[in-house]
Amino acid sequence: MKRTDLPIVYSCSGCSSAAQTANSIAIKMDRENVAEMSCIAGVGGDVKSLVRTAKSGRDIIAIDGCVLSCSKHSLARHDVETKHHFVLSDFDVPKKKGVDPDPMLTLHAYNQILDQIRENSTI
């Protein structure tokens, strides 16, 4: 499968532990060829090539660290709907400032997200 056939994953990458957990999960999806990660900051910043990628028609996975859902809202600004949207507080990932992500919580949330995606799609 070509990378361009994979869904695109976007993640929050803010300063909290939950945000960095979301980013870690998206990176893991990219490295394991589950999805191709793209830059949500570029979409939010109206970078034409990155907005074009978001609007390419590929399935979109958005992973947000908290209920603010910055990734989902950045995509919505460009009328891009997600096929899958995950908020890590739904997976018991706490939002803590000045704290690194917990590797065990990251792996647990990653596995739960993959299970939910597989239940609802063909990847």
pLDDT in tens, 30-71: 999 999 999 999 999 999 999 999 999 999 999 999 999 999
Per-position b or e across 65-78, b if 16+ CB within 10 A of its CB: bbeebbbbebbeee
Amino acid of residue 31 = R
**pTM, whole model, 2 decimals?**
0.94
CA distances from 68 to 2, 12, 79, 86, 111 (A): 33, 10, 18, 12, 23
> Which pLDDT score is estimated for 122?
57
How many helical (H) and strand (E) elements, i.e. helices and strands, does the chain have? Answer: 5, 4
